[in-house]
Amino acid sequence: MTYNSLASFAVIKDRGQARIAYAFDKFDEKGNLIESNKRGNYVAMTKEEKTAINTLEELVTKRMNEDNAE
């Protein structure tokens, strides 16, 4: 049995679509690293994905526009 651990992800606007890119590491059942920095991406298609992306964009925009934002 193996376990995938999400290392990073990003939402990229690509030709009017939201593309989700991600990187992850793969571990065995003992916690040993099998593969590092595996990557994938896909276009967000579901309502759940699109809602989550919109929520993140709103939170980032709010933080960006706060008085103490740097």
Q: pLDDT (tens digit, 9 = 90+) per residue, 51-67?
A: 999 999 999 999 999 97
| Number of domains within the chain | 1
The predicted pLDDT at position 67 comes to 76
Q: How confident is the model at residue 2 (pLDDT cuts 50, 70, 90)?
A: very high
* Measured distance CA(5)–CA(22) in Å, rounded: 11
Let me know if residue 42 belongs to a domain: yes
Question: Average of pLDDT values for 13-23?
Answer: 95
Averaged pLDDT for residues 14-35: 96
- Which distant-in-sequence residues (6+ apart) come within 8 Å of 36 by Cβ? 25, 26
Percent of all residues in the chain with a pLDDT value above 70, rounded to a whole number? 97
Whether 22 is in a domain gets the answer yes
Beta carbons within 8 Å of 56's beta carbon, 6+ residues apart: 11
Residue 69 located in a structural domain? no
- State the residue range of the domain holding 54: 2-64
